[in-house]
Amino acid sequence: MRILLKPNDVLMFRESKSFTAGESHLARSTLPLPQAVAGALRSAVLFSSGFSDEAKKLVGYKQDEPEFQVLGSFLYDGQEYFSTPLDIVKTKGVEGYFLVEPLQLQNGQFVFKGKHIHFESVGGFVSYKNIVDYLKGEIEEEELEEIIRDDMFVKESRVGIKLSDAKVTEEHFFYKAGFLRLRGNAEISVWIGEGADNVKKYLRNGLIRLGGESRFARIEIENSDPIEKLRNAWDEILENINESGRFKLYVATPTLVKRLNKCMWDIEHKLKDRLKIGIKAIYPLIGKPLTFSGWDYAENKPKPTRYAIPPGSIYFVEFDGEIYLDQPYLKIGELTRLGYGLCFLGV
């Protein structure tokens, strides 16, 4: 099931850095993390049910995760848009984008090679169709620059000042807040997996509170299979992966796993357990970790700060054995029912 959220105005998803008017003067917004979107749906289910015991059980009241599963949440404009894979790069002074891949050195270390030694990620977003082509290995380098979008949203700054109970401004409480405005027809798409039918019993097309600062969005429920495009390509992708003994693991939503050192996150044993394969080598190409926290409304206290592998990150994996996976995605790490840890395998 797909749920579309169309903002009425700007949105605020505040960064994990603490903000208290009078102590700080700047509050920034980020793109919505999975827990913010899942939290909005959980709250909507509770309110629409009148906080019934059945709804509390469904949303996991006072629990970290609900009974239903959020596969992920993404920007949407006629189709989902995913973070650009980090192996699509550019270099200063040279036109066009190119792909990089790992090169094993004799001393056991590795570097990433491409047309140029120095490179940086291009940012932006890639459409669902183009992500499927990318995972199939069918995107040519000359096409890369044409498929990247960087116009999905803008950030707007607004100023404010605290008012007393008498509606009089208070000194030393001037602040500036950064909001997120989706551009054009852009929306937020939420994929619901297990438990979708139970969620539908409580949610209706209408308004839903989304993010901070009492902002709202219109909710539209589609009885469709959002995985269909990838599912249709999966047999071909899996056959190519097993023939080569290599695959790319593309991180589609922020992923929470234990960090082992500065450049590696502990996914090897997770892949071994889930895919029943032997791992020969893993080459990570990871972006800057996402830092996030939040407020626990049930316990009325801040949640602990956590770190996640950012979407768009890539793991190049060499393996022994054969992969048997009947669905075209993996869920890896913690809080996967909130939308974290959605990963795709590609050629």
The per-residue pLDDT for range 43-84, each reduced to its tens digit, is 999 999 999 999 999 999 989 899 999 999 999 999 999 999
Q: Are residues 249 and 325 in the same domain?
A: yes
Element (H, E) at 305: none
Residue 148 and residue 120 in contact, taking contact as beta carbons nearer than 8 Å:
no
Q: Are residues 23 and 171 in the same domain?
A: yes
Q: Are residues 190 and 250 in the same domain?
A: no
Chain-centroid distance of CA 330 in Å reads 14
Q: Are residues 250 and 315 in the same domain?
A: yes
Q: Are residues 54 and 96 in the same domain?
A: no
| Residues near 140 by beta carbon (within 8 Å), at least 6 away in sequence | none
Confidence tier at 86 by pLDDT (50, 70, 90)? very high
Closest to 253 measured CA to CA, from 317, 329, 319 = 329
Q: What are phi and psi of 119, to 5 degrees?
A: -155, 165
Confidence tier at 26 by pLDDT (50, 70, 90)? low
Confidence tier at 19 by pLDDT (50, 70, 90)? very low
Q: Residue 119 is part of which domain span? A: 86-145+227-346
- Domain boundary among the residues 207, 222, 237 is at 222
Tell me the C-alpha distance between 32 and 35, whole Å. 8
Confidence tier at 31 by pLDDT (50, 70, 90)? confident
Q: Are residues 238 and 276 in the same domain?
A: yes
Q: Are residues 238 and 316 in the same domain?
A: yes
Closest to 332 measured CA to CA, from 262, 254, 280 = 254
Question: What pTM does this model have?
Answer: 0.90
Category of 45 on φ-ψ map: left (φ > 0), alpha (ψ -120 to 50) or beta? alpha
Does the pLDDT at position 263 exceed 70?
no
Confidence (pLDDT) at 134: 97
- Averaged pLDDT, 103-118: 85
Q: Are residues 324 and 254 in the same domain?
A: yes
Q: Cα dihedral angle (38, 331, 326, 241), rounded to 10 degrees?
A: 130
Q: Are residues 199 and 337 in the same domain?
A: no
Q: Domain total for the chain? A: 2
Structure tokens at 125: 């977003």
Dihedral sign for Cα atoms in the order 148, 330, 32, 120: negative
The alpha-helical segments, DSSP class H, found in the chain are 34-49, 53-59, 128-136, 144-147, 196-200, 228-244, 268-275
Q: Are residues 114 and 48 in the same domain?
A: no
For tokens 């939290």, name the residue: 39
- Domain boundary among the residues 169, 188, 222 is at 222
Confidence (pLDDT) at 298: 67
